[in-house]
Amino acid sequence: MPITWNEEKKLFNVTTKNATYQMKVDSYNHLIHTYYGSQIDDTDMYTQISFADRGFSANPYEAGKMDRTYSLDVLPQEYSCYGTGDFRITGLRVKESTGNQTVALKYVKHAFFDGFHKINGLPSVHGTSPSTSLCITMKDDVNGLVVELWYGILEETDVITRTVKLINRGNAQLIIEKAASMNLDFTYGEFDWITLHGRHAMERNVERRAISHGISSIGSVRGTSSHHYNPFTILCEKETTETNGSCYGFSFMYSGEFLIEVEKDQMAQTRMIMGIHPDNFSWILDPDQTLELPMVIMSYSANGLGKLSQNYHKTIKENVIRGNWKNKRRPVLINNWEATYFDFTGDKLVEIAKEAQSLGIELFVLDDGWFGKRDDDNSGLGDWYPNEKKLGCTLKELGNRIVEQNILFGLWLEPEAINEDSDLYRAHPDWVIKAPGRMPALGRNQLLLDFSRDDVCDYIIEVISQLLTEVPISYIKWDMNRSMCDKFSNNLDAAHQGEFAHRFILGLYHVLETLTTRFPDVLFEGCSGGGGRYDCGMLYYTPQIWLSDNTDAINRLSIQYGSSLGYPVATMGAHVSAIPNHQTGRSTSLSTRGTVAMAGTFGYELDVTKLTEEEKVEVKKQIKTFQKYYDLIQNGVYYRLTSADDICTVWEIVAENKSEALISAVYHGVEANPIPIYVKIQGLDEKKQYEISYLNADCTKQIMSGIALKNAGINIKGATTEFESYQIYIREI
């Protein structure tokens, strides 16, 4: 069995294909974390924990009079609590009616369950293959708080999921002030911490730094997971590379405010905690009430960062994404935003759609500006009825005109936002998020609707359902363009305001669950000013997310590189846009823009009616190339062969059966007398022979063995112009 319990040793062993996760109930009924790493047997690793009187480390009362070496301040715990003598960062803080914040959990029981554990109102890992879940029950005997620690496994991808359920079994109210979904302690090891940081239009830059003594953290208090820090992180040994070394990944399956903390303590032990950000959080639990926390997806690799990423890619594609579009080929789309912005007519849109269809594009998406009084971004949000004067017809009629061009019709929405200059605001000013008696802070001259309210959620569901019922819409781009501040709900009393930010996300998930279930054939793409809510929580509802509002091909190399650490190509919304690029002013070739966008869902964001005949030929060729290699690109195994900081960024996608591979290479610049670029090709069968050919350059085909490709590699054709790119196809012969 993948999860076992040794009654004699009081030992839990959670085993995946290549890893073991071990816990032990000790003699004081504390749940101690004893091991996580490459697979071992049921050897009790508790015996390797060092015990000594550490001085100024408190001892539990039941142990202290006899054993001053036993202290929760230095023991590796499975779920740490505040106030028990553990002076490190802790995962759980609870306030009782007396004001006391101490909580002490002891093991009570455990149980095994068939299948994956589902969380009420929150996304969770799922699957059809048999699986076993483990629930360990802990309890504070004084205040009656019961804590259930839930574990699930995906053996093939070395994934262990963790989540927590809090239940008040006492007689008095409890206030949850901090509740992490995961606590993980390492008793030894020198680690680096890899995080993804950024800003709007430059998301998910990779930062790797050594963990030193003290506390480090990343997180978001913006109401969303944010452009600025991503809820995915890696701990790795210092020598870990793409292909060698141990590393641990942690992905928070949540789209709201989060906190990831890392501490290296007095004994050089490392603790990581991941969960909802506590700064704006407090949750009242009355007797018999329950709070379920978001899921963490953990994975381990002993073979470097590349294998760890592949674990997440496969898990997200197979066990996070759901619905009709999970395995269905997604259409090549064109979005009119950078072609027209707000300045368009219905006739212009039909013209773009008609030309796009002639080039092989399969879906036309109408972006912002089609509704209400919306000629700029200062008004109209919330009024999700068409501006018929601007369109020259009803939205249904426009949709039919588009579909008549033999191309699908899609629509942009920003349902969580509202302008003060809108009919919806004038009718329901109490529906917006703002602090009472204060003028609200504005972002993009807009406010947010209070999705913690049932009436707001019901209204949004009704309005969007009507659109999707009446108009021939095949795709929705769900956008959200500001950070959340002035956090206050008119629907919550003073005592419950600390629940607001989490209730907002629960409301958002309810709306998305309802709509995606009601309209399973509609493809939903997530967006938040591009990549401001790029996380596994949103991917549970939207199988792809607009990766960034920055469409510059060269900037996209770093954005896509960082994103690939924890997310698969199949989720990355990526488009070919016009030059000079609208965000950077940079000009790159149409070929290079296509190469970069093919490392994603692929589409266009420009006015195709203004393309030259030569450019139209190139676009047709790109679309045929993408469609030809669609299954390989979207479902293959992804390798980073060089970094986004190298002179040439190279990545590879290999078929799971090792029969073919597609190599993409983009030069950042041109040098005089350049040094040749060599890359070692990964993932092919060492005993087979392969043919190597360039798809977009005149080069002689080569024949090489799999073992030669792996150990010697190939020489990438040199660049003759700035930002030149190549696509290299390798097939078994």
Give the tokens for residue 491. 């629907």
Instruction: Indicate the length of the chain as a whole number.
Output: 733
Angle (deg, nearest 10), helices 395-403 and 454-470: 50
Average pLDDT over residues 219-236: 98
Give the tokens for residue 106. 């002891």
Q: Whose CA is closest to 81, among 95, 93, 63?
A: 93
pLDDT of residue 22: 98
Give me the half-sphere count of Cα atoms (radius 13 Å) on the Cβ side of residue 571.
Answer: 33
List the catalytic residue out of 383, 421, 535, 652: 535
Give the tokens for residue 20. 């073991």
Give me the half-sphere count of Cα atoms (radius 13 Å) on the Cβ side of residue 343.
Answer: 4
How far is it, in rounded angstroms, from Cα 82 to Cα 136?
Answer: 20
Tell me: pLDDT of 254 over 70.
yes
Asked if 174 and 94 touch (Cβ cutoff 8 Å), the reply is yes
pLDDT of residue 687: 97
**Percent of the chain surpassing pLDDT 70:** 100
Q: Whose CA is closest to 690, among 677, 702, 678?
A: 702
Tell me, yes or no, if 535 is annotated catalytic. yes
How far is it, in rounded angstroms, from Cα 284 to Cα 299?
Answer: 33
pLDDT in tens, 367-390: 999 999 999 999 999 999 999 999
Domains assigned to the chain: 3-320 (2.70.98.60), 333-546 (3.20.20.70), 639-732 (2.60.40.1180)
Average pLDDT over residues 206-220: 98
H-only helix segments in 544-612? 553-564, 590-597
Give the tokens for residue 265. 């303590």
In the chain, what is the straight-line distance between the N-terminal and C-terminal CA atoms, in Å?
Answer: 41
- The helix (H) or strand (E) run that includes residue 421 is none
Mean pLDDT of the chain: 97
Give the tokens for residue 604. 């266009």
Amino acid identity of residue 18, one-letter, is N
Give the tokens for residue 288. 């018999």
Q: How far is CA 319 from CA 161, 224, 625, 642, in A?
A: 11, 23, 28, 28
Of the pLDDT bands very low, low, confident and very high (cuts 50, 70, 90), residue 127 is confident
Give the tokens for residue 63. 């142990």
How far is it, in rounded angstroms, from Cα 272 to Cα 658?
Answer: 37
Tell me: pLDDT of 491 over 90.
yes
Q: Whose CA is closest to 553, among 331, 722, 696?
A: 722
Instruction: Among 45-49, 111-115, 228-232, 724-728, name the one with the lowest average pLDDT.
Output: 111-115
Asked if 676 and 715 touch (Cβ cutoff 8 Å), the reply is yes
| Residues near 142 by beta carbon (within 8 Å), at least 6 away in sequence | 104
How far is it, in rounded angstroms, from Cα 427 to Cα 436?
Answer: 18
What are the percentages of helix, strand and coil residues in the chain, rounded to 5? 20, 30, 45
Q: Whose CA is closest to 380, among 396, 368, 390?
A: 368
Asked if 653 and 630 touch (Cβ cutoff 8 Å), the reply is no
Angle (deg, nearest 10), helices 553-564 and 590-597: 20
pLDDT of residue 130: 63
| Residues near 371 by beta carbon (within 8 Å), at least 6 away in sequence | 380, 383, 384, 385, 386, 387
Of the pLDDT bands very low, low, confident and very high (cuts 50, 70, 90), residue 64 is confident
Tell me, yes or no, if 615 is annotated catalytic. yes
Q: How far is CA 336 from CA 5, 267, 342, 553, in A?
A: 58, 57, 9, 18
Torsion of CA 191, 196, 199, 202, to 10 degrees: 120
Asked if 608 and 357 touch (Cβ cutoff 8 Å), the reply is no
pLDDT in tens, 432-470: 999 999 999 999 999 999 999 999 999 999 999 999 999
How far is it, in rounded angstroms, from Cα 39 to Cα 303?
Answer: 13
Tell me: pLDDT of 549 over 90.
yes
Asked if 495 and 175 touch (Cβ cutoff 8 Å), the reply is no
Tell me: pLDDT of 331 over 70.
yes
List the catalytic residue out of 156, 351, 388, 615: 615
Q: Is the dihedral of CA 355, 358, 360, 364 positive or negative?
A: positive
Q: DSSP letters of 41-95?
A: -S--GGGG------SS----HHHHTT-TT--TTTS-BSS-BTTSS--S--SEEEE
Asked if 173 and 286 touch (Cβ cutoff 8 Å), the reply is yes
How far is it, in rounded angstroms, from Cα 249 to Cα 158?
Answer: 10
pLDDT of residue 699: 87
- The helix (H) or strand (E) run that includes residue 483 is none
| Residue in the block written with tokens 């574990």 | 151
| Residue in the block written with tokens 């009709």 | 324
Amino acid identity of residue 25, one-letter, is V
Please state the pTM of the whole predicted model: 0.98
H-only helix segments in 519-606? 536-539, 553-564, 590-597
SS3 99: coil
Give the tokens for residue 241. 């590379």
Give the tokens for residue 683. 């993932």
Is residue 102 exposed (0-12), middle (13-18) or buried (19+ Cβ within 10 Å)? middle
Give the tokens for residue 230. 């991503």
pLDDT of residue 65: 80
How far is it, in rounded angstroms, from Cα 672 to Cα 621?
Answer: 31
3-class secondary structure per residue, 334-380? EECHHHHCCCCCHHHHHHHHHHHHHHCCCEEEECCCCECCCCCCCCC
Average pLDDT over residues 601-614: 98
Torsion of CA 96, 99, 101, 102, to 10 degrees: -80
